[in-house]
Amino acid sequence: MSHTRTLPARTGTTDTRLASNVRHAPRPLAELSTPLQLNVALRALMELGIVLALAVWGYHAGAAPATRVLLAGLAPLLGFGLWGAVDFRWAGRLGEPLRLLQELLLTALAAAALAAAGHPVWGWGLAAASALHHAMLYALGQRLLRH
């Protein structure tokens, strides 16, 4: 089923586009409130921390230099591959809690990987950043999934 919306075009005519393309278009960062901007930045740091945590673990898990480099590259790919492989929107009302559980488990795995690689303080920091981000997300009325 296709829902369309008529939008004014630059030339003064009308332009018909799918409503789903218009309705879910992300707002520019400058249009977000300061708390939302801070949470977007925290999310970016959290995701970067997860990538680095898995890469550090992969590097420390390998014995030979080639194995270290290979695992440092594959561990983040596997982690984010598993994260992105499942779309929980099919689950209806359970989609949001399932996505939250998935994100918290991935972050916990990355924090544990940092601890196993000899960096437990960084692991706790990553876990705290994740907890703060998700608490702020819901406190600001946001959701992980967009329908």
Q: Could you read off the pLDDT of 43-88 as tens digits, one per residue?
A: 999 999 999 999 999 999 999 999 999 999 999 999 888 888 888 9
Token readout for 89 is: 């929107």
pLDDT at position 4 over 70: no
Total domain count, the chain: 1
Confirm whether 48 is domain-assigned.
Answer: yes
- At residue 33, the pLDDT reads 86
- At residue 24, the pLDDT reads 54
Confirm whether 4 is domain-assigned.
Answer: no
Q: Read off the pLDDT band of 124 (50, 70, 90).
A: very high
Alpha helices in the chain (DSSP H): 19-23, 34-61, 65-85, 95-116, 120-139
Confirm whether 13 is domain-assigned.
Answer: no
Confirm whether 120 is domain-assigned.
Answer: yes
Q: Read off the pLDDT band of 25 (50, 70, 90).
A: low
Token readout for 13 is: 């005519």
pLDDT at position 135 over 50: yes
Confirm whether 57 is domain-assigned.
Answer: yes
Residue 124 CA to residue 121 CA, distance in Å, equals 5
Check residues 37 and 15 and name the one with the higher pLDDT. 37
pLDDT at position 6 over 60: no
- At residue 20, the pLDDT reads 40
Confirm whether 117 is domain-assigned.
Answer: yes
pLDDT tens-digit profile of 77-119?
A: 998 888 888 889 888 999 999 999 999 999 999 999 999 999 9
Task: Tell me if 111 sits within 8 A of 53, measured CB to CB.
Answer: yes
Q: What is the pTM of this model?
A: 0.75
Confirm whether 24 is domain-assigned.
Answer: no
Task: Tell me if 43 sits within 8 A of 134, measured CB to CB.
Answer: no
- At residue 86, the pLDDT reads 87
- At residue 17, the pLDDT reads 41
Confirm whether 18 is domain-assigned.
Answer: no
Domain containing 43 equals 32-139
At residue 14, the 3 state secondary structure works out as strand
